[in-house]
């Protein structure tokens, strides 16, 4: 549970302020029980039993969370060779991992397929050829671009006219290359985008994929990708999961009764972890200026776009909560800005906040997905630590970087 009671924000049964004191700021904090709840919520919305939830670890690769999801029975969607390696190291069974890369080299496929024994989901016809030449007479999966895309921002749209997938009008080429190298197509895949709050694009994707699936006999799974959105803004309507789960279940039931059972795979990242994480930051500087006769306030914190790039990159909205003043009237309109030397370094624009003072802790909400995993060392700043909460216990699971971590990679210093 992450929520406000009285003046306090709680994560599990711990006050956020206490966690900030114990582990320092900035710090990413995740609620393991909420991760589990989100996972189970998604599973429950599907009536279709032959379902596998492949967690997209690009959203959050905290090993603690990966282990938890592994224990719940999840598979893993990995988009780079090292995500695959991490999954194997964490103990995901090889057959429960799918490697969906883009601009993939032969060396990468040799590592993933040859060394780690994980199925490759191919993104282009030339890649399929390279795969066939390197691993003839083996199993393979292909990513189809179904010709539709959706997402919370144009950068998060990965279907339609984008670099992703084998276009649906290239299917004869797929068949040709499969024949040439005697490859067995075991999976069809699509991922049309991220942060989608309407069910229709998913239903349409499934319809188009299942149509393609009729052309191939040996299919073990049809993977409709991830992209299930979550509400970030107050009052934003959540995705109607029950409706979506029911529509997709019907489509797969119908297909299976005609052509034999096929596994339905989904690859959620954000839906599982987004709401289960916050970034705790401390107010270090409050700048008040007058612009054209009106007051403008910049609340400077000890973090920034290097730790959470979504607001800077996509103009994404993240709710900000003053963790021990949550019940005070929100009388202040301010930009919450970081310590990085760029004007785009914002965590929130025109946030509604209570009156603040230096030392206050703020929670940047819904930061569990694409927060830490997109962080960087820009400006020579360390990445924050990660803490996982279960009820009343808080555990450090990734430590804060220290200066030596950043200096270590220089060949000469
Ligand atoms: N499967 C594949 C092949 C993907 O590329 C992605 C995300 C997912 C699954 C999971 O999507 P999700 O369920 O998390 O929406 N950085 C952006 C999101 C980019 C997502 C990229 N691919 C953001 O912060 O909004």
Choose the residue to mutate in 53, 227, 231, 266 for probing ligand 1, maximizing ligand atoms within 8 Å of C-beta: 227
Residue 195 Cβ < 6 Å to ligand 1: yes
Q: Which residues contact 371 (CB under 8 A, 6 or more apart)?
A: 28, 60, 277, 279, 307, 308, 310
Is 253 in the same domain as 286? Answer: no
**Ligand 1 centroid vs 100 CA: distance in angstroms?**
12
Is 413 part of a structural domain of the chain? no
CB count in 10 Å sphere of residue 310:
22
**Ligand 1 centroid vs 194 CA: distance in angstroms?**
5
CA-CA-CA-CA torsion sign (387, 56, 243, 195): positive
Is 344 part of a structural domain of the chain? yes
Query: Using CA positions, which residue lies closest to atom 8 of ligand 1?
Result: 226
Is 217 in the same domain as 364? Answer: no
**CATH number, domain containing residue 390:** 2.40.37.10
CA 162 from centroid of its chain's CA atoms: 19
Q: Which range marks the domain in which residue 200 is found?
A: 31-273
* Chosen domain end from 210, 239, 273: 273
Side-chain half-sphere exposure of 317, counting CA atoms within 13 A: 13
Q: What is the pLDDT of residue 217?
A: 83
CB count in 10 Å sphere of residue 107:
11
Is 135 part of a structural domain of the chain? yes
* 102-129 per-position pLDDT tens digit: 999 999 999 999 999 999 999 999 999 9
Residue 227 Cβ < 6 Å to ligand 1: yes
**Ligand 1 centroid vs 80 CA: distance in angstroms?**
13
Is 412 part of a structural domain of the chain? no
List of the chain residues with pLDDT < 70: none
- Clarify whether 341 is annotated catalytic: yes
Distances (CA, A) of 71 to 39, 67, 93, 169: 12, 6, 11, 40
Place of tokens 């999840």: 74
Q: What is the pLDDT of residue 123?
A: 98
Which strand (E) or helix (H) includes residue 280? strand 277-291
* Chosen domain end from 240, 273, 306: 273
Q: What is the pLDDT of residue 218?
A: 85
Place of tokens 């007051």: 295
**Ligand 1 centroid vs 98 CA: distance in angstroms?**
14
Residue 55 Cβ < 6 Å to ligand 1: no
Residue 57 Cβ < 6 Å to ligand 1: no
In our burial notation (b when 16+ CB lie closer than 10 A, e otherwise), range 80-103 reads bbebbbbbbebebeeebbbbbbee
* Chosen domain end from 273, 293, 316: 273
Is 202 in the same domain as 73? Answer: yes
């Amino acid at each position: 549970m992450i929520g406000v009671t009285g003046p306090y924000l709680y994560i599990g049964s711990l006050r956020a302020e206490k966690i900030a004191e114990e582990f320092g700021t900035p710090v990413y904090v995740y609620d393991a029980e909420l991760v589990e709840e989100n996972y189970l919520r998604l599973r429950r919305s599907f009536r279709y039993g032959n379902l596998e939830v492949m967690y997209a670890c690009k959203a959050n690769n905290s090993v603690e969370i990966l282990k938890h999801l592994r224990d719940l029975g999840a598979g893993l969607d990995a988009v780079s060779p090292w995500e695959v390696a991490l999954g194997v190291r964490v103990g995901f069974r090889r057959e429960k991992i799918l490697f969906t890369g883009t601009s993939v080299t032969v060396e990468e496929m040799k590592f993933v397929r040859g060394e780690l024994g994980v199925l490759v989901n191919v993104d282009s016809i030339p890649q399929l050829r390279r795969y066939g030449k390197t691993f003839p007479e083996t199993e393979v999966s292909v990513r189809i671009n179904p010709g539709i895309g959706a997402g919370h921002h144009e950068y998060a749209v990965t279907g339609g006219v984008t670099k992703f997938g084998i276009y649906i009008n290239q299917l004869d080429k797929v068949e040709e290359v499969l024949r040439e190298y005697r490859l067995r197509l075991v999976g069809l895949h699509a991922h049309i985008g991220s942060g989608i709050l309407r069910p229709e694009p998913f239903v349409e994707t499934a319809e188009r994929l299942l149509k393609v699936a009729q052309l191939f006999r040996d299919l073990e799974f049809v993977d409709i990708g991830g992209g299930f959105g979550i509400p970030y803004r107050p009052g934003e309507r959540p995705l109607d999961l029950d409706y979506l789960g029911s529509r997709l279940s019907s489509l797969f039931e119908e297909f299976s009764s005609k052509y034999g059972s096929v596994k339905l795979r989904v690859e959620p990242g954000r839906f599982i972890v987004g709401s289960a994480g916050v970034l705790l930051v401390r107010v270090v500087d409050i700048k008040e200026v007058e612009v054209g006769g009106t007051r403008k306030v910049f609340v400077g914190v000890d973090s920034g776009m290097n730790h959470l790039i979504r607001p800077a990159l996509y103009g994404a909205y993240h709710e900000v909560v003053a963790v021990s003043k949550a019940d005070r009237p929100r009388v202040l309109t301010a930009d919450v800005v970081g310590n990085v030397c760029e004007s785009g370094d914002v965590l929130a624009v025109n946030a509604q906040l209570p009156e603040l003072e230096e030392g206050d802790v703020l929670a940047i909400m819904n930061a569990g997905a694409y927060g830490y995993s997109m962080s960087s060392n820009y400006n020579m700043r360390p990445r924050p630590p990660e803490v996982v909460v279960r009820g009343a216990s808080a555990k450090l699971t990734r430590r804060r970087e220290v200066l030596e971590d950043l200096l270590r990679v220089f060949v000469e210093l």
